Amino acid sequence: MSDYLVKALAYKGFVRAYAVNATETVAEAQRRHDTWNTASAALGRTLVGGLMLGATLKGDDRLTVKIEGDGPAGAIVVDSNGKGEVKGYIKNPHISLPLNEIGKIDVRGAVGTEGMFTVIKDLGLKEPFSGQTPIVSGEIGEDFTYYLAVSEQIPSAVGVSVLVDTDDSIKTAGGFMIQIMPGASDEIIDQIEARLKETARISTLLDEGQTPEEILQNLLATDDVFFLETMPVQFKCDCSKEKFASAIITLGAEQIQELIDQDHGAEAVCAFCNNKYQYSEEDLYALKQEILGE
Ligand SMILES: [Zn+2]
Protein backbone atom coordinates (compact mmCIF):
# COMPACT_ATOMS: atom_id res chain seq x y z
CA MET A 1 0.00 0.00 0.00
CA SER A 2 1.41 3.36 -0.98
CA ASP A 3 1.88 6.23 1.46
CA TYR A 4 -0.83 8.79 2.04
CA LEU A 5 -1.99 11.48 4.42
CA VAL A 6 -5.55 12.20 5.51
CA LYS A 7 -6.94 15.54 6.67
CA ALA A 8 -9.99 15.64 8.89
CA LEU A 9 -12.19 17.91 10.99
CA ALA A 10 -13.89 16.83 14.21
CA TYR A 11 -16.06 18.31 16.95
CA LYS A 12 -17.88 20.61 14.53
CA GLY A 13 -14.63 22.01 13.21
CA PHE A 14 -13.06 22.86 16.58
CA VAL A 15 -10.43 20.19 15.96
CA ARG A 16 -8.31 19.81 12.84
CA ALA A 17 -6.43 16.55 12.45
CA TYR A 18 -3.93 14.87 10.16
CA ALA A 19 -2.58 11.34 10.03
CA VAL A 20 -0.06 9.85 7.67
CA ASN A 21 1.39 6.52 6.69
CA ALA A 22 4.89 7.45 5.47
CA THR A 23 6.50 4.02 5.54
CA GLU A 24 7.79 4.00 1.94
CA THR A 25 8.81 7.67 2.17
CA VAL A 26 11.01 7.06 5.21
CA ALA A 27 12.25 3.75 3.77
CA GLU A 28 13.45 5.58 0.68
CA ALA A 29 15.25 8.19 2.81
CA GLN A 30 16.86 5.34 4.79
CA ARG A 31 18.11 3.66 1.61
CA ARG A 32 19.33 6.89 0.00
CA HIS A 33 21.25 8.07 3.06
CA ASP A 34 22.17 4.63 4.43
CA THR A 35 21.04 5.71 7.88
CA TRP A 36 21.63 3.40 10.85
CA ASN A 37 18.76 2.68 13.23
CA THR A 38 18.92 5.68 15.58
CA ALA A 39 19.57 8.09 12.72
CA SER A 40 16.75 6.41 10.72
CA ALA A 41 14.30 7.09 13.53
CA ALA A 42 15.50 10.69 14.01
CA LEU A 43 15.39 11.56 10.31
CA GLY A 44 12.19 9.54 9.78
CA ARG A 45 10.33 11.29 12.59
CA THR A 46 11.38 14.68 11.20
CA LEU A 47 10.25 13.67 7.69
CA VAL A 48 6.85 12.61 9.06
CA GLY A 49 6.46 15.85 11.05
CA GLY A 50 7.58 17.87 8.04
CA LEU A 51 5.01 16.12 5.82
CA MET A 52 2.18 16.99 8.21
CA LEU A 53 3.31 20.58 8.65
CA GLY A 54 3.66 20.83 4.87
CA ALA A 55 0.11 19.51 4.48
CA THR A 56 -1.17 22.70 6.14
CA LEU A 57 0.20 24.69 3.18
CA LYS A 58 -1.25 25.30 -0.27
CA GLY A 59 0.16 23.24 -3.17
CA ASP A 60 3.34 25.00 -4.25
CA ASP A 61 4.10 26.65 -0.91
CA ARG A 62 6.97 24.96 0.89
CA LEU A 63 8.69 24.84 4.22
CA THR A 64 11.93 23.74 5.80
CA VAL A 65 12.26 22.18 9.26
CA LYS A 66 15.71 22.38 10.77
CA ILE A 67 16.62 20.65 14.01
CA GLU A 68 20.03 21.64 15.28
CA GLY A 69 20.73 19.86 18.54
CA ASP A 70 23.91 19.13 20.46
CA GLY A 71 23.72 15.35 19.94
CA PRO A 72 25.90 13.19 17.66
CA ALA A 73 23.32 13.24 14.80
CA GLY A 74 24.13 16.85 13.94
CA ALA A 75 21.63 18.92 12.00
CA ILE A 76 18.50 17.34 10.56
CA VAL A 77 16.97 19.25 7.64
CA VAL A 78 13.64 18.44 5.99
CA ASP A 79 11.93 20.23 3.11
CA SER A 80 8.25 19.66 2.34
CA ASN A 81 5.41 21.25 0.41
CA GLY A 82 1.63 21.34 0.18
CA LYS A 83 1.62 18.51 -2.38
CA GLY A 84 2.84 15.79 -0.06
CA GLU A 85 6.43 15.83 -1.30
CA VAL A 86 9.28 15.70 1.19
CA LYS A 87 13.06 15.38 1.17
CA GLY A 88 15.60 15.53 3.95
CA TYR A 89 18.92 14.57 5.41
CA ILE A 90 20.71 14.03 8.69
CA LYS A 91 24.29 15.27 9.03
CA ASN A 92 25.61 12.03 10.53
CA PRO A 93 23.61 9.10 9.13
CA HIS A 94 25.69 6.43 10.85
CA ILE A 95 24.34 6.70 14.37
CA SER A 96 23.35 3.58 16.26
CA LEU A 97 22.91 4.06 20.01
CA PRO A 98 21.86 1.55 22.67
CA LEU A 99 18.10 1.51 23.38
CA ASN A 100 16.89 4.00 26.00
CA GLU A 101 15.59 3.20 29.50
CA ILE A 102 12.14 2.22 28.18
CA GLY A 103 13.60 -0.08 25.53
CA LYS A 104 12.98 2.26 22.59
CA ILE A 105 15.29 3.79 20.00
CA ASP A 106 17.14 6.63 21.70
CA VAL A 107 16.26 9.50 19.36
CA ARG A 108 16.89 12.06 22.10
CA GLY A 109 20.40 10.67 22.54
CA ALA A 110 21.07 11.23 18.83
CA VAL A 111 19.44 14.66 18.53
CA GLY A 112 20.46 16.13 21.89
CA THR A 113 18.48 18.25 24.30
CA GLU A 114 20.01 21.67 23.69
CA GLY A 115 19.63 23.56 20.45
CA MET A 116 17.10 25.10 18.12
CA PHE A 117 14.04 23.95 16.20
CA THR A 118 13.44 26.19 13.20
CA VAL A 119 10.70 26.34 10.59
CA ILE A 120 11.05 28.51 7.50
CA LYS A 121 7.96 28.84 5.29
CA ASP A 122 8.13 30.04 1.71
CA LEU A 123 4.57 31.10 0.96
CA GLY A 124 5.41 32.85 -2.29
CA LEU A 125 5.53 36.22 -0.54
CA LYS A 126 8.43 38.67 -0.57
CA GLU A 127 9.78 37.52 2.77
CA PRO A 128 9.74 33.93 4.01
CA PHE A 129 8.08 33.35 7.39
CA SER A 130 10.44 32.00 10.00
CA GLY A 131 9.74 30.68 13.50
CA GLN A 132 12.13 29.25 16.04
CA THR A 133 11.84 27.55 19.41
CA PRO A 134 14.41 25.81 21.60
CA ILE A 135 14.58 22.02 21.53
CA VAL A 136 12.54 20.92 24.55
CA SER A 137 12.71 17.15 24.27
CA GLY A 138 14.91 15.86 21.47
CA GLU A 139 12.31 13.12 20.81
CA ILE A 140 11.05 15.33 17.94
CA GLY A 141 7.25 14.86 18.32
CA GLU A 142 7.23 17.00 21.46
CA ASP A 143 9.47 19.51 19.72
CA PHE A 144 6.93 19.90 16.89
CA THR A 145 4.17 20.28 19.51
CA TYR A 146 6.12 22.94 21.39
CA TYR A 147 6.97 24.82 18.20
CA LEU A 148 3.30 24.93 17.13
CA ALA A 149 2.13 26.08 20.57
CA VAL A 150 4.73 28.78 21.07
CA SER A 151 5.64 30.01 17.60
CA GLU A 152 2.30 29.58 15.80
CA GLN A 153 0.01 29.76 18.88
CA ILE A 154 -1.78 26.56 17.87
CA PRO A 155 -2.35 24.16 20.77
CA SER A 156 -1.53 20.77 19.23
CA ALA A 157 -0.54 17.22 19.84
CA VAL A 158 1.99 15.74 17.42
CA GLY A 159 3.04 12.10 17.35
CA VAL A 160 5.72 10.86 14.97
CA SER A 161 7.15 7.36 15.03
CA VAL A 162 9.30 4.99 13.05
CA LEU A 163 9.60 1.25 13.50
CA VAL A 164 13.06 0.09 12.43
CA ASP A 165 13.62 -3.57 11.60
CA THR A 166 16.61 -5.54 12.88
CA ASP A 167 18.34 -5.21 9.49
CA ASP A 168 18.02 -1.38 9.71
CA SER A 169 15.26 -1.26 7.08
CA ILE A 170 12.04 0.62 7.85
CA LYS A 171 9.10 -1.51 8.94
CA THR A 172 6.59 1.31 9.36
CA ALA A 173 6.62 5.08 9.78
CA GLY A 174 3.83 7.55 10.37
CA GLY A 175 2.30 10.14 12.59
CA PHE A 176 -0.62 12.30 13.59
CA MET A 177 -1.13 15.99 14.24
CA ILE A 178 -4.17 17.22 16.13
CA GLN A 179 -4.78 20.97 16.35
CA ILE A 180 -7.26 22.65 18.65
CA MET A 181 -9.01 25.69 17.17
CA PRO A 182 -9.93 28.75 19.22
CA GLY A 183 -13.19 28.30 21.13
CA ALA A 184 -12.86 24.54 21.64
CA SER A 185 -14.22 23.46 25.02
CA ASP A 186 -12.14 21.93 27.81
CA GLU A 187 -14.21 18.74 27.53
CA ILE A 188 -13.02 18.21 23.95
CA ILE A 189 -9.40 18.70 24.97
CA ASP A 190 -9.72 16.39 28.01
CA GLN A 191 -11.36 13.69 25.90
CA ILE A 192 -8.60 13.75 23.28
CA GLU A 193 -5.82 13.96 25.87
CA ALA A 194 -7.18 10.92 27.69
CA ARG A 195 -7.35 8.96 24.43
CA LEU A 196 -3.82 9.97 23.45
CA LYS A 197 -2.47 8.61 26.73
CA GLU A 198 -3.93 5.17 26.17
CA THR A 199 -3.03 4.87 22.48
CA ALA A 200 0.02 2.99 21.21
CA ARG A 201 2.60 4.54 18.92
CA ILE A 202 1.46 5.14 15.34
CA SER A 203 4.21 2.92 13.93
CA THR A 204 2.87 0.05 16.06
CA LEU A 205 -0.71 0.70 14.92
CA LEU A 206 0.43 0.79 11.29
CA ASP A 207 2.32 -2.44 11.87
CA GLU A 208 -0.95 -3.96 13.11
CA GLY A 209 -2.51 -2.98 9.80
CA GLN A 210 -4.49 0.09 10.86
CA THR A 211 -5.09 2.80 8.25
CA PRO A 212 -4.50 6.54 8.88
CA GLU A 213 -8.32 6.97 8.84
CA GLU A 214 -8.80 4.32 11.53
CA ILE A 215 -6.00 5.78 13.62
CA LEU A 216 -7.52 9.28 13.51
CA GLN A 217 -11.02 8.02 14.17
CA ASN A 218 -9.76 6.35 17.33
CA LEU A 219 -7.46 9.19 18.48
CA LEU A 220 -10.16 11.83 18.18
CA ALA A 221 -12.43 9.87 20.54
CA THR A 222 -15.63 10.76 18.68
CA ASP A 223 -17.75 9.54 15.78
CA ASP A 224 -18.00 13.14 14.58
CA VAL A 225 -15.01 12.94 12.23
CA PHE A 226 -15.28 14.43 8.76
CA PHE A 227 -12.53 13.42 6.33
CA LEU A 228 -11.69 16.32 4.04
CA GLU A 229 -8.96 15.01 1.82
CA THR A 230 -6.61 12.13 1.09
CA MET A 231 -3.24 13.08 -0.35
CA PRO A 232 -0.49 10.74 -1.58
CA VAL A 233 2.90 11.47 -0.01
CA GLN A 234 6.37 10.59 -1.24
CA PHE A 235 10.07 11.25 -0.91
CA LYS A 236 10.88 13.55 -3.80
CA CYS A 237 13.86 15.73 -4.56
CA ASP A 238 13.83 18.44 -7.22
CA CYS A 239 17.57 18.50 -7.86
CA SER A 240 19.01 18.13 -11.37
CA LYS A 241 22.30 18.34 -13.24
CA GLU A 242 21.19 21.78 -14.54
CA LYS A 243 20.49 23.11 -11.02
CA PHE A 244 23.92 22.13 -9.77
CA ALA A 245 25.41 23.60 -12.94
CA SER A 246 24.05 27.01 -11.94
CA ALA A 247 25.73 26.54 -8.57
CA ILE A 248 29.02 25.71 -10.30
CA ILE A 249 28.66 28.85 -12.43
CA THR A 250 28.57 30.97 -9.27
CA LEU A 251 32.12 29.75 -8.50
CA GLY A 252 33.37 31.98 -11.31
CA ALA A 253 35.45 31.32 -14.44
CA GLU A 254 38.80 31.12 -12.66
CA GLN A 255 37.61 28.54 -10.14
CA ILE A 256 36.04 26.44 -12.90
CA GLN A 257 39.30 26.49 -14.86
CA GLU A 258 41.01 25.18 -11.73
CA LEU A 259 38.54 22.28 -11.58
CA ILE A 260 39.36 21.51 -15.21
CA ASP A 261 43.14 21.71 -14.71
CA GLN A 262 43.42 19.95 -11.38
CA ASP A 263 40.46 17.55 -11.14
CA HIS A 264 39.67 17.11 -14.85
CA GLY A 265 36.00 17.25 -13.97
CA ALA A 266 33.68 17.73 -11.02
CA GLU A 267 31.08 15.84 -9.04
CA ALA A 268 28.12 17.39 -7.23
CA VAL A 269 26.29 15.44 -4.53
CA CYS A 270 22.78 16.47 -3.48
CA ALA A 271 22.62 16.68 0.32
CA PHE A 272 18.87 15.95 0.31
CA CYS A 273 18.73 12.81 -1.84
CA ASN A 274 22.35 11.75 -2.29
CA ASN A 275 22.08 11.79 -6.11
CA LYS A 276 25.44 12.37 -7.75
CA TYR A 277 26.02 14.44 -10.89
CA GLN A 278 29.21 14.24 -12.95
CA TYR A 279 30.63 17.14 -14.94
CA SER A 280 33.24 16.30 -17.56
CA GLU A 281 35.99 18.70 -18.61
CA GLU A 282 33.79 19.56 -21.62
CA ASP A 283 30.79 20.28 -19.36
CA LEU A 284 32.91 22.56 -17.20
CA TYR A 285 34.40 24.29 -20.21
CA ALA A 286 30.88 25.00 -21.51
CA LEU A 287 29.88 26.47 -18.13
CA LYS A 288 32.97 28.66 -18.17
CA GLN A 289 32.13 29.89 -21.67
CA GLU A 290 28.64 30.72 -20.42
CA ILE A 291 30.15 33.03 -17.79
CA LEU A 292 32.47 34.66 -20.26
CA GLY A 293 29.53 35.09 -22.63
CA GLU A 294 31.22 33.30 -25.48
ZN1 LIG B 1 18.44 15.83 -4.66
Residue 1 pLDDT class (50, 70, 90 cuts):
low
Residue 59 pLDDT class (50, 70, 90 cuts):
confident
Quick check: 266 pLDDT over 90?
yes
Quick check: 179 pLDDT over 80?
yes
CA of 237 from ligand 1 middle (Å) equals 5
3-state SS track over the chain:
CCCEEEEEEEHHHCEEEEEEECHHHHHHHHHHHCCCHHHHHHHHHHHHHHHHHHCCCCCCCEEEEEEEECCCCCCEEEEEECCCEEEEEECCCCCCCCCCCCCCCCHHHHHCCCEEEEEEEECCCCCCEEEEEECCCCCCHHHHHHHHHHHCCCCEEEEEEEEECCCCCEEEEEEEEEEECCCCCHHHHHHHHHHHHCCCCHHHHHHCCCCHHHHHHHHCCCCCEEEEEEEECEECCCCCHHHHHHHHHCCCHHHHHHHHHHHCEEEEECCCCCCEEEEEHHHHHHHHHHHHCC
Quick check: 206 pLDDT over 90?
yes
Residue 273 pLDDT class (50, 70, 90 cuts):
very high
CA of 86 from ligand 1 middle (Å) equals 11
Quick check: 193 pLDDT over 90?
yes
CA of 131 from ligand 1 middle (Å) equals 25
Task: Read off the pLDDT of each residue in 241-266 and give the average, rounded to a whole number.
Answer: 95
CA of 5 from ligand 1 middle (Å) equals 23
CA of 269 from ligand 1 middle (Å) equals 8
Quick check: 50 pLDDT over 90?
yes
CA of 274 from ligand 1 middle (Å) equals 6
Task: Read off the pLDDT of each residue in 266-274 and give the average, rounded to a whole number.
Answer: 96
Q: What is the mean pLDDT of the chain?
A: 96
Task: Read off the pLDDT of each residue in 165-177 and give the average, rounded to a whole number.
Answer: 95
How high is the pLDDT of residue 293? 84
Quick check: 12 pLDDT over 90?
yes
Task: Read off the pLDDT of each residue in 262-290 and give the average, rounded to a whole number.
Answer: 96
CA of 238 from ligand 1 middle (Å) equals 6
The model's pTM is: 0.95
Residue 146 pLDDT class (50, 70, 90 cuts):
very high
Quick check: 131 pLDDT over 90?
yes
Residue 89 pLDDT class (50, 70, 90 cuts):
very high
Percent of the chain with pLDDT over 70: 99
How high is the pLDDT of residue 107? 98
Residue 126 pLDDT class (50, 70, 90 cuts):
confident
How high is the pLDDT of residue 294? 64
Domains of the chain, earliest start first: 4-235 (3.55.30.10), 241-292 (3.90.1280.10)
Percent of the chain with pLDDT over 90: 94
How high is the pLDDT of residue 75? 98
Is residue 154 within 8 A of residue 15, CB to CB? The reply is no
CA of 108 from ligand 1 middle (Å) equals 27
CA of 79 from ligand 1 middle (Å) equals 11
CA of 55 from ligand 1 middle (Å) equals 21
